[in-house]
Structure 1
Amino acid sequence: MILNVPVEIYALIIAVLIDLFFGDPPNKWHPTAWIGLSIRRLKFLSPSSNYVQFIYGVFLFLIIIIFWAGTTYLLNYYIQSLNYILYVLIIGLFLKSTFSIRMLHKEASKIKTLLEQDDLDQVRLEMPALVSRDTSNLTSQQSLAATIESVSENVTDSFTGPMIAFAFFGLPGAVAYRVVNTLDSMIGYRGEYEYLGKFSAKIDDLLNFIPARLSACTLLISSIFLSELDAKNAWHIMWRDHANTASPNAGWTMSVIAGALNIALEKDTQYKLGDEKRPIVVEDINRTVKAMYCSAVLTMICAVTLILIIH
């Protein structure tokens, strides 16, 4: 501790600076990619029976999270004996691997540029980096909406969740959060591996209960500061529509953005958030990204406050 400031705060600042200035490393050197690889290898050993698949899914969840969170805990314990500055740098570097703001901005901006160029075919090819749905027949308006939805929803997964987990439980907590989130994204969906991922999906829902609502609050506050956004309508739509999605968490952040932009966000017959007061335009991607950055700053303030209280 330097100047009575906990090491976690220095590590958090370093992690954010690494993300903003350097972004993510290649998958070869990215811990989240390693986590994904370990899940993928165990996933293909899954049995076909629904019941046995569910049991195997619980086993897979426990094995993956114990291994990665445990390894991080041991690493954290070992490097404490190193030079203080080196310790902070290593913690910051590994913490960075649990979240990403720049990458989300980069992917959203890529879609924005392609839409401005009317290159819809390339948009459809690039969209899977942001969404899991079939993108082969998306229209320009649907691509715009999907990009805005993805950015707003990922405020929780990509930043708030890892930051809050780090504030409470240090680096092992942030890594554990990323493991659960990665498990959910890889096996927590309907289809061939539905029962394999049921346990992971439920844990992910529970884990994101507070971060999703905190993200909605920070986005709501952001809409007060950003003149292009409608804070009053964001509040109204959030309370009216947050429960319209199948996910108990995703609707919170998406409904805030839908209200703030005075647009409607909808996915086939699955949900509709907001009122279509005007059509969605390309510039709405920039407005959403600005809200994301403002939300990230507010989340950092929350995380630093929690660290100071806890430590």
Structure 2
Amino acid sequence: MNIAILAFVIDTIIGDPHSKYHPVVLIGRLISFLERIYYNKEDSDNKKFFCGAILVLLVLFVTYDVAAGIIQLAYFIPWDWGVEFVEALLLAFTISPKSLAKAGRGIYALLITGEIDKARKAVGWIVGRDTDKLDEAEIARATVETIAENTVDGIIAPLFFFVLGGVPLAFLYRAANTMDSMLGYKNEKYLYFGRAAAKLDDVLNYIPARITGLLFVIAASLLGFDAKNALQMMRRDADKHPSPNGGYAEATMAGALHIRLGGINSYFGKKTFRAYMGEAIEATAPKHIMEAIRMMYTATVLFLIFAYALLTCMGY
């Protein structure tokens, strides 16, 4: 767990560098390359699913082996701490608390200074919905939802799989999550071709999402938010989310902060309704973005503490 703690420190200091050589960017390029090979619009639905599944297996295989290979090469570094540092650096690429917090703080700053148009544009970088007509409350809601959801797939899940199988397994998860974000759409192109990627992401996030919900309850208690309501909203509303996992972070966050998430979203001009989670005890406002960031960081530290304690008790 020293590696995970060091990875968190590295992320806290330098964040997630924007580079075309970032491992997740390279994974995305691999996915796009294989998509051009395996996707054919004229294929039958069954063949699209089969080809999509082959793509998933290839990406997972390559990503896992490359990560494992880099770690093996690190053993040639003539310092005792060389391998651990390389592992921590690689793991830091799979988590993104600083980037998530930076995006949230940026939107918060724009909202409190009244720069609504810039805030709409900024939130558009982190959500998939239309943002050009959102008001302050809706921008805050979108940001809080993103922070809650990404606490699962951007932090807790990679760390969870690191605990289970080291850095290569954390990278395997990151590859699966990237495939879901690129291919896991229920539209004409990806409904069958991206189904394997979407289902795999659902399976991999099943346990981390529920761990995150519980961590948010504990974080709410430590931070002076409403832990009891957080637990109640998780139990009542988590399964209302269209994703089998997304509601465990969002409903719990909503309960802790006394706000209501979900509602009407617009995608490419088409409005859709997503079930409400939480009660609107307070109107969603910019301050809740900062509170969500505090919840995210507290949940991350709690996971590291609990995982360290567990592994120590097990003799690792």
TM-score category of the 2 structures, normalised to the smaller one? over 0.9
Asked if structure 1 preserves the Cα contact closer than 8 Å seen for 2:123 and 2:131, the reply is yes
1:240-259 correspondence runs (5 A): 240-259=236-255
1:219 aligns with 2:212: no
**Unmatched runs of 5 consecutive residues or more in structure 2:** 265-272
Cα separation, 1, equivalents of 2:74 and 2:21: 19
Asked if structure 1 preserves the Cα contact closer than 8 Å seen for 2:49 and 2:192, the reply is yes
Match of 1:39 in 2: 31
Cα separation, 1, equivalents of 2:139 and 2:4: 33
Letter in 1 for 2:123: M
Cα separation, 2, equivalents of 1:113 and 1:38: 36
Letter in 2 for 1:104: L
Deviations 1:254-299 (A, max 9, x none): 0011111111111311221011122111111111111111100111
Cα separation, 2, equivalents of 1:65 and 1:302: 28
User: 1:118 Cα shift?
Assistant: 2.1
1:263 aligns with 2:259: yes
Match of 1:101 in 2: 97
Cα separation, 2, equivalents of 1:286 and 1:270: 24
**Unmatched runs of 5 consecutive residues or more in structure 1:** 1-8
User: 1:306 Cα shift?
Assistant: 4.3
Asked if structure 1 preserves the Cα contact closer than 8 Å seen for 2:237 and 2:247, the reply is yes
Deviations 1:34-69 (A, max 9, x none): 111111222234111332221111011011110010
Match of 1:128 in 2: 124
Deviations 1:3-43 (A, max 9, x none): xxxxxx23222211110011112222311111111112222
Match of 1:291 in 2: 295
User: 1:117 Cα shift?
Assistant: 2.1
Greater displacement, 40-49 / 137-146: 40-49
Asked if structure 1 preserves the Cα contact closer than 8 Å seen for 2:136 and 2:285, the reply is no
Q: Of 166, 171, 180, which aligns to 1:170?
A: 166
Deviations 1:161-196 (A, max 9, x none): 011100110011110010011111111112222222
1:99-248 correspondence runs (5 A): 99-191=95-187, 192-227=189-224, 229-248=225-244
Aligned residues: 302
1:71 aligns with 2:66: yes
Cα separation, 1, equivalents of 2:83 and 2:108: 39
Q: 1:109 to 1:194 in 2, by over 3 A?
A: same
User: Equivalent pairs: percent with the same residue?
Assistant: 32
Asked if structure 2 preserves the Cα contact closer than 8 Å seen for 1:101 and 1:159, the reply is yes
Question: Per the alignment, in what secondary structure is the counterpart of residue 139 of structure 2?
Answer: helix
When the two structures are superposed, what TM-score results if normalisation uses the length of structure 1?
Answer: 0.93
Q: 1:305 to 1:219 in 2, by over 3 A?
A: same
Give structure 1 regions of 4+ aligned residues with deviation exceeding 3 angstroms.
Answer: 305-308
Deviations 1:226-253 (A, max 9, x none): 12x1111111111110101110100011
Letter in 1 for 2:12: L
Q: Of 19, 22, 28, which aligns to 2:20?
A: 28
Match of 2:46 in 1: 51
Q: 1:128 to 1:196 in 2, by over 3 A?
A: farther
Greater displacement, 164-173 / 111-120: 111-120
Asked if structure 1 preserves the Cα contact closer than 8 Å seen for 2:15 and 2:96, the reply is yes
Q: 1:205 to 1:221 in 2, by over 3 A?
A: same
Asked if structure 2 preserves the Cα contact closer than 8 Å seen for 1:168 and 1:310, the reply is no
Cα separation, 1, equivalents of 2:249 and 2:138: 18
Letter in 2 for 1:270: R
Asked if structure 1 preserves the Cα contact closer than 8 Å seen for 2:75 and 2:82, the reply is no
Deviations 1:211-238 (A, max 9, x none): 00000011100010112x1111111111
Question: Per the alignment, in what secondary structure is the counterpart of residue 97 of structure 1?
Answer: helix
Match of 2:306 in 1: 302
